[in-house]
Amino acid sequence: MTHGVLSPSPASVDVLGVPVTAHTEQTLVTQVLEMARTEGVDVVVGVNASVCTMARRDPAFKELVSTSHTYADGQSVVWAGRLLGVHVPERLATTDVALPILCEAADSSVPVFFLGAAPGVAETAAAAMRQRFCGLDLRTHHGYIRDEEVQDVLEEIRAHRTGILFVGMGDPAQQLWIDAHRDQLPPAVLTCGGLFDWLSGTNRRAPRWMISAGLEWLWRLGLEPRRLWRRYVIGNSEFIAGVLMQRVRRGFG
């Protein structure tokens, strides 16, 4: 690894106290690959309405997100950024942006590690990605790690010389896990929620027209209503109200 300097980040916008960088897919992928070649640890977090409302309620979680590199992983965050005066060019769903990152990692010989999900899910996702991206060095471990197993998993990641680590444990568990073990992690660490479920085919993506219209959340709510109704119905309402209040306050400032 080198003491490289990362390319300058695009502009950012404060959304309910969370700084969201206005990345395009290309600027985000470039920055992640640069991180993988440098010393230190850089954490990358996809920000959606749920992350913003969670950060609003929990100062400790807000601090973890605010000190990370960020991008807009929710159409509502894209719209909020524009309403608040910064052109956020596009929604970068983690499920979509992971693919060019993995492609570049394969081309650049950067080892990747998937950590998270139920036993077998990350392995299935990894098998699909190795088949898709020739030469991809990708290892995995499920996310159900007992306390006495943590050091063994960290040693496995270290021995692999992982450059990019995807951690899929859901919010806020993944941020808390990363923070607890940050000094033992690879140079580029990305939170990724349910990424491995999508890449493995365990869950199905929304139709392309729903994704383009910013309605993927509605598709997910239909798939898992009991688990997600509070997040999307109550959480999204809280997010919208908070952003509108922020815009009004800004107008009078």
204 is a domain residue: no
Mean pLDDT of 52-61: 96
* Residue 7 domain-assigned (yes or no): no
Q: Is position 5 within any domain?
A: no
Domain assignment present for residue 94? The answer is: yes
96 part of a folded domain = yes
Residue 244 has pLDDT above 60, yes or no: yes
Q: What range defines the domain where residue 111 resides?
A: 12-197
pLDDT tens, position by position, 138-193: 999 999 999 999 999 999 999 999 999 999 999 999 999 999 999 999 999 999 99
Helix axes 94-108, 25-36, angle to 10 degrees: 50
So what's the pLDDT on residue 4?
A: 59
What's the whole-number average pLDDT of the chain? 94
Query: What's the pLDDT band for 137 if we cut at 50, 70, 90?
Result: very high
- Residue 124 is assigned to a structural domain of this protein: yes
If one counts the domains in the chain, the total is 1
- Residue 90 sits in a domain whose CATH number is 3.40.50
In a domain? residue 213: no
Span 196-219, pLDDT tens digits? 999 999 988 889 999 888 888 889
87-106: pLDDT as tens digits: 999 999 999 999 999 999 99
**Residue 232 pLDDT grade (very low, low, confident, very high; cuts 50, 70, 90):** confident
**Among residues 206, 205, 10, which one has the least CA distance to residue 89?**
10
* Kind plus residue range of the DSSP H or E element containing 241: helix 236-252
